[in-house]
Each structure stands twice: as structure tokens, then as C-alpha cells.
Structure 1
């Protein structure tokens, strides 16, 4: 088959996957909101979801093919995706307002559903997605949220609410903008303009922040030692040949951790909870269950599923990664959807 024929065949497969995806989404929108045709905005969102999921599937398939040991025989392709669940989830995420084309809104990760013999697509919020959810469903939404990382040369003092202070406050001064020293902690502050007595200050030590660090934190993002792998020509397998120190984006990761805590601390209003919110919560449960099941399944071979939600510039992306003790991936990183 010629290269041109290959391209045409690939285009045909992708088109059919796109059409299949859009048909499912249109059907779900129609059954949910009573409108047969999608609005231009809904069509754009659906297209954004297709592109993002397509990219996640291709990345996961590349990882699957690279595995020499215990490779799952089921290809990670559109033909093997649980479309019923996916269409319902996409509509729910879109109604909430998550747009995968916007950085840090929503991330997609495929997980094997052994019962169905297909891949479920799980959705994980980025830190901006957490903010969007809090503002949409929050009980008492602050007018402003301040998020700061504190360094060793900064001057910070918390002012707690007491008989002398009608509301919580703080003093914060940066004494050296260009060399602030080491990170020592962070804080967030919820501000209510018309009800300052509700203002809330939460101070997080570096120890508090480190507790939220992913268990398998990627050196590219959090800094530290990174393994170096090379292919062994005699066996065809990758082998560890050393380590290298990586600077990473530690300060950005610390800030994101405090940011997520700030919006995760906004109480959800039970009267605002709808079917879309419940699907989001179910996705979180599905993600946890899928990760646990995969880790148990792979335990004999010391494998874990790594999902990192950060890219090189410190912006959130999903990078599904797999690490195998015998044949590790060169880019094995860190995982924790809730950090």
C-alpha cells in the first residue's frame, strides 16, 4: 500500500471515529436537554473533547506498544472505547463548563474496563477546573481568592480573628523580588467584600504542601533525580544506565498545590447539585477505583500507572505513563489526580 493510500485510510478511520463520537454526543444532548441540534458553542466543545481524547488515546497506545512484558492485548483506540459512558460524561463536563482546549480545565485518561473489554475515559479536573466547579456549585463563594507561596526572605504574619481583630487578615511583604530564597510554605485567603467577618486565612507549611505531593512525583515537574534509560541492543529492552538531576518546576508545583487547596476548601451547596455534578463526582470515584485495580493487577510485576498533570512550562496537561521494573519507560513520572 502506498504512503498516500495509508494516509487516506488513516483519515477515513479518524473521520469515522469523529462521526461516531459526534453522533453519540448529539444523541445525549438531545435526550438530556430536548434539543436535536447542538448550538455552535456545544459543537465547538464537542470537537475540543474529541481532539483531546484522541490525543490521550494515541499517547496511551504508544505506551502500550512500548511495553515488552505484560502488554495488554487490547489496543487503545476509538474502536475499543466505551462510547456509551463517554458520551454521557462529555455532555456533563461540557454543561459544567469544562473546555479541554483551555489549559488546566479538564484532563482525560483511558483506563481498561475488564468487565466490558473496553477502555473507559476518566475525566480529571485541572486546577482551573477546580476553580470553575467551586464558583458554579459553591455555597458561599469568595469575592476574591489570594494564593501565595512564601519564601525564606519574605515577611509574613497571620492575623487571627479575636476580640481585637473582627476578621482574619495577614501581613505579607516581599523583601527581595529577585532572590526570595527557599520555599518555606504558602497560604490562601478567601475575601468576602461585604462580609469581611467571613474572610478565611489558611496557612500551609512546606510539610503540609509536601503531604499533597504525588506519590510518584515526576522529576521533570517537582525536581530531583531522574533515571536515565538506554536500549540494550542484545535484549531489545531498556535498561537503567544512571541518573541525572533535574531542576523541574518545583515552585510552580507548590503554588498549584496551594491553589487547589484554596478552591477545594469552598463548601458545595447541596441545593445546586445536579446530574452533571454527580457525574463529575462519579468520575472521581471511577478514577480512584481504576487506579487501584490497575495497581493491584500489575503488582506482581511491580507496575504502576503514572498520570502526570503537568507539562514542561508548568501548565497542566495529562501525560499517561507506565513504569515497569523490568522494562521501564524512559519518561516515567508521577501521579495523583487530587494533589
Structure 2
């Protein structure tokens, strides 16, 4: 790395940190960042820098016909917007260096010719968000899949049964059979009569599977690409169990009612970022976007898919793409 590049990087790092620091300060007076907030600011810069570098590398590898003319570099990033997003995410506790917290996805706003980074929460990020803004946050949330060889017996609330509960026995942990469903259980220690058990059949779980779900994650057939054309199919095992678990987990935390009195600018900002991103219609798929650096153009472009092309739902799987050769950490343990 040349001295000139090192100086520029230091300058951008300082500029980034200064903006974040300024936004953390109160209107009353100077408020020093906590060590935790300083670490988060550093983590966001490191991850954002990596995302931008890889996006620029990919931009340069494209043929001139499909290459965006605006380089994906810090000088072309909407710094004010990014700093505000970092502050909002940090206040919730999202750490981009932790698995399953949040993914930074870059895209270009053609109106401003600037790159922005939207923040897409992983399932652990959704958990943190629900716990901060929930109206009646459970003391514990149990999430599990049920397999055909397991024994699961729910006891729903009734006149004779004031507390919902269940019996669950894994008869053979080494051969549990096929997934037949899942459940989540909201637990309230002080008021067990409020405990809530929700059961989801495998059919209900798969209803939440994206229409263009990637076989790399859900399993199934995958197109084999060569020279921009499909030349065949291959069977991919994927991470079907993990995807089903993630689906039930997200449902469990989406089921926590948001307290309108807790809604603040951070909540509104991050919700807007996620909703804006969902409205972006692109042909380009984003197999490496989870903290890796693909750019999504707001207006999209007609680009032949890459060999590893996946759909946008992959961003919710956080860093599983990086772990495609190793089983991801089981979030249930």
C-alpha cells in the first residue's frame, strides 16, 4: 500500500469517525462516546471499507458495456447518510462484525450519483430490535424445529389449562427424520398465564420461502452457468434445516408487538432503509452482498447473472455465504 493511499484511508477513517462522533453528541453539550460505541464505529468503518473495496473490484471486472462509470470509493459515498445509519444501528446494538447482526448492502442512487449503504438486519439483529422496542418483551423465547421422529405435544390455553405449554422429546438425536414443522414459545416468568405457544407446520414455514429462493440455501437444483449461459443443472444440498429454523426464529420476534411510545428516530430510520431497499427492483442478484461488496443500482441494469447468483433474500442469512464450505454455527445452541 502506497503512502498516498494510506493517508487517504486515514483521512476517510477520521472523517467517518468525526461524523459519527458529532451525531452521538447531545444538543446540550459534549458527550464522549463510550468504549462500546467507539468500537462499533470502528467496526462499521472496517466493514464498510471492505464492502466498498470488493464492490469496486467487481465493478472493474465487468465488461465496459455493463460497468458503472462511478467508482465505488469513499469519495463517492453519501457520508452524512452513512454516519446517521451507523448511529441508529449502534444505538440498537447491531455490530457488523458479529454474525447475524446486520449486513451492509451498497447501492447507487442515480439521482445523486452517490453510493449509499443500506442496513439489512440478520435474525439476531431482529432479536435485538424487538427487545429494544417491544411492548411486552418475553423473558425468554424458545424456538425449535420438530422432526418426524420427535415427540411433540402442545397444551394450548383453555378453561382447564390457564398456562400454555408443551411436551417435547427428541427420541433419536442422530436420526430425527424429516422436518414436519416448528414452534416458538414466548415465556413470561412472572405472569405465566401470558405464555404463548405458536405452532407452524412445514407447509406454513415454506410459505415464507422466497419465490426465487436460492438452492445454495434451501437446497434443490441450481443452474450451471458458463460464458453467460445456462449449460446444465446441478443438485445442491443447501442448508434447508437452517433456513427453516431462521424462518421460525424471525416469526417469533416479529410477533412481539412494537411499543409506539418507544419508537424513535433510530427505529424509523432503519425501517425506512430496509423498506427502501425492498423497493429496489433489480435484475442483478446479490450472492455476495452480505458484508462482501456487491453494488445494487437503484434503477437496475440488464446484467448476465454470475455463476453464484442468488436472490436478495440471501442478505438475511448474514454470513452463511462466507461459510458455504462449513456448517454455520447452530443458532439454537
Normalising TM by the smaller chain, what interval? 0.7 to 0.9
Q: What is aligned with 1:120?
A: 116
The 5 A counterparts of 1:286-297 are 286-289=276-279, 291-292=280-281, 295=282
The 5 A counterparts of 1:1-339 are 7-30=2-25, 34-35=29-30, 37-68=32-63, 69-231=65-227, 238-289=228-279, 291-292=280-281, 295=282, 303-306=283-286, 320=294, 327-336=304-313
Tell me which moved more, 238-247 or 84-93.
Answer: 238-247
**Distance in 2 separating the partners of 1:144 and 1:261:** 15
TM-score (norm 1): 0.84
Q: What is aligned with 1:313?
A: none
**Distance in 1 separating the partners of 2:272 and 2:303:** 34
Superposed CA RMSD: 2.5
TM-score (norm 2): 0.85
Offset from partner CA, 1:105-155 (integer Å, 9 cap, x none): 111111111111111111111111111111111111111111001111112
1:272 is paired with a residue whose SS is coil
**Distance in 1 separating the partners of 2:217 and 2:288:** 9
Q: Is the 8 A contact 1:215 1:334 kept in 2?
A: no
Offset from partner CA, 1:199-240 (integer Å, 9 cap, x none): 111111112111222333222222222233334xxxxxx433
Q: 1:78 to 1:216 in 2, by over 3 A?
A: farther
Question: Matched residue pairs, number?
Answer: 312
Q: Is the 8 A contact 2:106 2:295 kept in 1?
A: no
**Distance in 1 separating the partners of 2:207 and 2:295:** 22
Long gaps (5+) in structure 2: 318-333
**Distance in 2 separating the partners of 1:167 and 1:326:** 55
2:15 is paired with a residue whose SS is helix
Q: 1:222 to 1:8 in 2, by over 3 A?
A: farther
Offset from partner CA, 1:39-85 (integer Å, 9 cap, x none): 33222110000111112222333333343343322122211111111
